[in-house]
Amino acid sequence: MIKKVVIAAAGHGTRMKHLSKNKSKLLINVKHKPFLAYLFDNLLAAGYKDFILVVGYRADLMEKFLKDFGYKATVVNQFDILGPKEKEYGTLCPIKCVRDLVGKENFLAVYGDNLYSVRDLKAINIDDNHNYMAAKVEKEHPEKYGVLITDKNGFLIEIKEKPKEYIGNLVNTGLYKFTPDIFDKIPCVGLSPRGEYELTDAITHLAKDGKVKLKMIEDYWLDFGCPGDIRKVGNFLRLNKSGKTTKQ
């Protein structure tokens, strides 16, 4: 059983505007506690125990958050390892920073601004030789996400980021189970068109080797990115008691 989880929490969250002026958006309160606390609670309830929290912006407040709420995690400062955001940035960076800590273990990776049910977090705990990415059918606007192209056996062929034309409605939700093979693909990744190092580019390289399968989200996927999401997530949690098992 996989116990180790890498949580990406280095970003600022500028789309939260003034609310994240002096702290990470992950520490903005929803109901009575920071959004990040709900992710920790569901991960713990799903049986994960070994956390690596990759911080950057206002790392001091992240460490205070862990202390105040009693969560235990190994803290890694992305900016100390790779330099400031202006030097190297992107969704691949947290993975790049934890190679020595993860070693040869399988592990989960998740962005700190996403929330999933306990059931879905348990379901992706697949301790085999494949890599998995959690997927969801997005009926209304799949073009806003990374659309996943698969073969008939459920293996990933390609990720099309925000395609301009409709190519499918199966999208990436940002929850992953990786083997150490992911680290071998880091050198293959160059700067994306938006000037960042993208985790999905490394996953695409793994897919070319036939090493990535999809795992469907059964309950819900909540993204925490802009001010309107505070009320949206809060209402969802109020209606569904902590949001541990129910569907959206």
- Kindly report the three-state secondary structure assignment for every residue of 163-186: CCCCCCCEEEEEEEEECCHHHHCH
Strand partners, 156: 150
**pLDDT tens by residue, 16-60:** 999 999 999 999 999 999 999 999 999 999 999 999 999 999 999
Q: Which CATH superfamily is domain 4-243 in?
A: Spore Coat Polysaccharide Biosynthesis Protein SpsA; Chain A (3.90.550.10)
Contact 48, 121 (CB under 8 A): yes
Tokens linked to 50: 């070994």
**Per-residue pLDDT, 194:** 87
**Per-residue pLDDT, 19:** 94
Q: Which amino acid is at 238?
A: R
Tokens linked to 108: 């989960």
**Per-residue pLDDT, 50:** 98
**Per-residue pLDDT, 244:** 57
> How far apart are alpha carbons 240 and 248 in whole angstroms?
9
**pLDDT tens by residue, 76-94:** 999 999 999 999 999 999 9
Give SS3 for 59: helix
> How far apart are alpha carbons 97 and 89 in whole angstroms?
12
> How far apart are alpha carbons 201 and 166 in whole angstroms?
21
